[in-house]
Amino acid sequence: MAERFCNLIAGRWEFPEANPPIESVNPADISDVVGIVPESTPEDVNRAVESARKAYSGWRLVPPPRRAEILFRVAELLVKNKHFLGELVTREMGKILKEGLGDVQEAIDMAYYMAGEGRRLAGETVPSELPDKDCKSVRVPIGVFALITPWNFPIAIPAWKILPALVAGNTVVFKPSSYTPVCATRFVELFVEAGLPEGVLNLVHGRGETVGRVLAEHPLVDGVSFTGSTKVGEAIIKSCAGIGKEVSCEMGGKNPIIVMDDADLELAIEGSLWASFGTTGQRCTASSRLIVHRDVYDAFLTGFTERAKNLRVGCGLEEDTDMGPLINETQLARVLHYVEVGKKEGARLVTGGRRLTGGVFDRGYFMEPTVFTDVTEDMRIAREEIFGPVVSVFRADSFTHAIQLANSTDYGLSSAVYTRDVNRTAIAERELNSGLVYINAPTIGAEIQLPFGGIKKSGSGHREAGGRGGAIDMFTRMKVIYRDFSGRLQKAQIREE
């Protein structure tokens, strides 16, 4: 029988049995059950939130550099377990092993970085307009955070949320995706091993529509941080709006890469392949629109399609695999449905579009890398997030036209431009309407020391990762202190004239 993975509530590992448990299966081989986790009840969520509340009174007073020492130990444990966890990411989520290891590396980077933040949680000291009075701002934690994470980065995205939340002095109830719960549990185990006090980090397993919803709407939760679809993110924002919670949502993308006539074409092709088909297109930063200047359109399309056809699809644990499976049956069906939508709308399918079958493919959720051309701005495949290995190629008449096409969706997470013209890079940097802009590099691969997040329907405006200006702002509040040591009533703004 498959191994059982528990909730962690108030320092105790437990497996509630009220509901039928959830099986986590390997998307490359559905006969391989990675583990079994509970579908928790509202009562379990309640206890987890209460545990976090209780632990908050002590954790918020632990000096941040001391909190950071525990995070540093988490970083060291991640390094020690990198290979084990990387393989687990591949087995549970499907991305190829190099990327599974990259997922863990992103968490390692974040853990060291956030450990450093423990000595940098700075506010400001500024002069007062009145004599014998001083003013300063300090950072305080927000309280209990509900952290709800997706399956596509089963270690990295939890790390993006848990580590800054904790260093800032918040306590946490973590609800990972029910498709990658084993990775999440293994990650949480490292915090226990690193010596995190009981109740500071709680883990509840279950589905989003049940456990996630109850957790986000819980009255004793002070803040919610969610990464996932725009549909769910918007629902969370609405449901929390009346309760006065801090809510931050990282949502979808429809990220463009512009390839100009003066680009290094080989580099642009290589970058576009990585951003479109890396992680099987299942990144919020994946590029799904390639906007190519008409003068290099044919050369680009020929090279890109040829390379897409030659990508080796298979199990991510095999050394020579370029692209793994999709996460599950529903996601595969959704992506294949979009292929049909594209064809019906009149786009031209130049390669791919089918589920892969036969041999090892019958064991999992594999599909071909898929390329559409003759796509117009108004088509659904040009506007909606597909979250799979499907990319649309557009022809641009000019640089201005390319920028206009790039900005023409409801999303605004990441965009990229390939050009050798320095002036164009400056204009692209200014005009591309997205939270991240890449010059001569693809739309994926954000580094953790900078703020991460999108605009429009891609995000609620908060920024993850990074320090001040990023995650530290998200997980703290500024508190302002005025101290008057004049011994008399002094009135700001009121002048005796």
Supply the residues annotated as catalytic: 250, 284
Considering only 152, 255, 305, 409, the residue that binds ligand UN1 (CB under 6 A) is 152
Using the contact rule CB under 6 A, the part of the chain among 206-214, 278-286, 378-386, 480-488 near ligand UN1 is 278-286
Total residues contacting ligand UN1 by CB under 6 A comes to: 10
Q: How far is the CB of 481 from ligand UN1 (least distance, A)?
A: 37
Task: Give the residue with the Cβ less far from ligand UN1, 118 or 228.
Answer: 228
Could you give the CA distance from residue 315 to residue 321 in angstroms, rounded to a whole number?
Answer: 7
Within positions 446 to 465, which residues make up the interface with ligand UN1, using CB under 6 A?
A: 446
Could you give the CA distance from residue 48 to residue 273 in angstroms, rounded to a whole number?
Answer: 43
Task: Give the residue with the Cβ less far from ligand UN1, 143 or 233.
Answer: 233
Within positions 219 to 238, which residues make up the interface with ligand UN1, using CB under 6 A?
A: 227
CA nearest to 158, candidates 89, 255, 211 = 89
Q: How far is the CB of 103 from ligand UN1 (least distance, A)?
A: 9
Within positions 89 to 148, which residues make up the interface with ligand UN1, using CB under 6 A?
A: 106
CA nearest to 376, candidates 398, 354, 348 = 348
Could you give the CA distance from residue 415 to residue 111 in angstroms, rounded to a whole number?
Answer: 27
Could you give the CA distance from residue 347 to residue 349 in angstroms, rounded to a whole number?
Answer: 6
Considering only 283, 395, 456, 463, the residue that binds ligand UN1 (CB under 6 A) is 283
Residue nearest to ligand UN1 (CB): 446
Could you give the CA distance from residue 293 to residue 305 in angstroms, rounded to a whole number?
Answer: 16
Q: What are phi and psi of 126, to 5 degrees?
A: -135, 160
Binding mask 153-172 for ligand UN1 (x = CB under 6 A): x-------------------
Site membership for ligand UN1, residue 284 (CB under 6 A): yes
Instruction: Answer yes or no: are the C-beta atoms of 428 and 406 closer than 8 Å.
Output: no
Using the contact rule CB under 6 A, the part of the chain among 55-63, 110-118, 324-332, 438-446 near ligand UN1 is 438-446
Using the contact rule CB under 6 A, the part of the chain among 205-213, 277-285, 381-389, 402-410 near ligand UN1 is 277-285
| Cβ neighbours around 178 below 10 Å, total | 21
Using the contact rule CB under 6 A, the part of the chain among 60-68, 135-143, 283-291, 353-361 near ligand UN1 is 283-291
Considering only 11, 116, 123, 445, the residue that binds ligand UN1 (CB under 6 A) is 445
Could you give the CA distance from residue 418 to residue 410 in angstroms, rounded to a whole number?
Answer: 23
Buried-exposed string 70-84: b where 16+ CB fall within 10 A, e elsewhere: bbbbbbbbbeebbee
Residue whose token pair is 């699809």: 313
Q: Which residues bind ligand UN1 (CB under 6 A)?
A: 106, 152-153, 227, 283-285, 444-446
